[in-house]
Structure 1
Amino acid sequence: MDELTKRENLPDSPQSEDAYRSIRGYVIEAQGQVYAAVNAAMVTAYWKIGKSIFEACGENDRAAYGKQVLKYISERLTEEFGKGFNLRNLRYMRQFYLTFPNVNALRSELSWTHYRSLMKVTDEKARTFYMEECAKAGWSSRQLERQINTMFYQRLLASRDKESVAAEIQTTEPKPEYEQIIKDPYVLEFLDLPANEHFYESNVEQALIDHLQKFLLELGRGFSFVARQKHFNVDGQHFYIDLVFYNYILKCFVLIDLKTGLLTHQDIGQMQMYVNYYTRYQMNEGDNPPVGLLLCAQKSDTLVRLTLPEDNRQIYAAKYMPYLPTEEELKRELNLEDFEKLENL
């Protein structure tokens, strides 16, 4: 057999599959080591920062003097190292130091995301239990969050079948094979790296959002692009709005979220939260209240009516529809046939 024939047959051979699996394992192992190293450095740094903030601001960082010091530190750090050092994050670091005053008691296996969840547990015995069990069992941050939310500690103490209670997490919240360092918002903030706007989109969603973004900008009704996959953090939970525009005719932000399946009441509630966030934290003087548009493949009109308040004027933008794309225009741009076409891109 000549060399060309060998190469043509290579992809289907057991040897090529074995080689791929070995190399894949090396990549995952290396990425895991990098992820663990970054998280360990981040946790140590944030503990030290929290200690320094406590010593600089005193017992109450919200008193006049403490607020001034914290504001000064935040502005200087943000200017030099990026948005990971805003006031909210610095307060979390201070809380981290106060919650875990002994740095030697910290577990190197746990990430900053783990500790953000642990800080929510007010019972010290329960918090210590979760920390030790998390490190021992190798729980992911999502698994830890679920164990806390489902009161695993209390259920374990009350149960006679402790093995079943302890094992249920692998079924209810399976651990991912590996963590992707480039998708961890805390790591990206710590390293001052920008998040790629496509990290959180599937191929279909990405194509649809590309299309929708271009369509709105070409519509000629006052749309100005602001952000894609707009990220914000609420008490350790990360949220991403698919598209954010500002409409200079309406003088308001327009938030758009795309759902490729059946619209649920959770989707509507999430958009309401997005609108509330922009209303309270992002509006400028003279702005009108933001508008939220939810675009989906299927929806129940009854579900929408029951979920939204009767006087709703922000979700689906009934008040502003003359300046926004009509329902017919949106359907034409993002109908089910388009979904099928875009899946083949």
Structure 2
Amino acid sequence: MNSEIERYKGLLTNIKNRVRQGQLKANLSANAEMLATYWDIGKMIHLQQQQKGWGKGVIPKLASDLKNELAEVKGFSVRNIQMMIQFYNEYSDFSIWQLAVGKLDIDAVTKLSVAQLESNSISQAPVARLKNNSITQLSVAQLQNIPNESLLITKIGWTQHTVLLQKIKDMPIRYWYMQQILEQGWSRDTLVTQIKSKIHERQGALVHNFDTTLTNAHSLWAKQTFKDPYIFDFLTLATEFSERELELELLKHVERFLLELGAGFAFVGRQYKLEISDKEFYIDLLFYHIKMRCFVVIDLKKGDFLPEYAGKMNFYCSAVDDILKHETDKPTIGLILCKGKDRIFAEYALRDVNKPIGVSEYELTQMLPDNLKSSLPSIEDIEKEFFEANNQDN
């Protein structure tokens, strides 16, 4: 009887997986076909403007007529048609739009999660093809992870494309953002936020000793994962704050905090206790990174970096490796977040440390004077008043 139940559960699981794969295939195919349609429309209008001398005035007329002729079809506003023309002009050299959607490598993609489409299953493009001076802003590792541009473009949603077309003119950087959209499942709003914070300039910019303390593959992962500086503009702190206040504020906004850290971070604990030789030690923030398969220890400092911070972090990483790390886990990585740092100072401090450690700054843009902050109600106070008011009404 039990074997029958197990076989049924297995069948049910296989059917659910196949349905999800089918849904993902359909979504990817539909997205690629829609983009191809928009590209063709942009091309048709562009050619008429070039050959017939039609001006911009034709676009409002087209938008109006298409709305009347194709009332059931959305997406033909004046602005959207203008974006289609720009879409064609930006990618006019690509032949992907002449390919049948079925030829796209959909099967490989369905092996990945819906939320995060891994890049390593998509064919890689030679770095040499990305010819642009600003390519030096990106690390070699980041560029090597940019997949074939043609396939990459077809997997990005139209709303994300419109953001990239408007805000990112540099092609290698635009491809980098496309890659992040696929890997981290960024929505349009998240993409706008990340572009505004110039995340492409911050990725991998921290001071670290990863090259000497990790294997090549793990070091590349770490350098692509961590950034400098971290932008905590979602926090509201007094001009004078303690490290504990910073820690508590980050956890109050844990979703925004995790978004700024990047994909793959799983929160383990705050003030995580370690017992060593009958003494207790507390880690500010402990995470586990799912992709890197390792623990990440974060130490928060309200001032500038000091050399002794590296020794303390080395101690924490050793303790986590000994007490928490599974035999299949990679070495624990430490991240020291400071209000400021001298890069040369930090490099000297990490030079002979044997545990992988990075040093980054953080930026706070919403600062309240102490006297004003103390006069404002807390979230708890507001919730309490709201609850009491509701009870009185009832």
Q: Same fold (TM over 0.5)?
A: no
Q: TM-score, normalised by structure 2?
A: 0.36
Higher relative contact order (CA 8 A, sep 6+): 2
Q: TM-score, normalised by structure 1?
A: 0.40
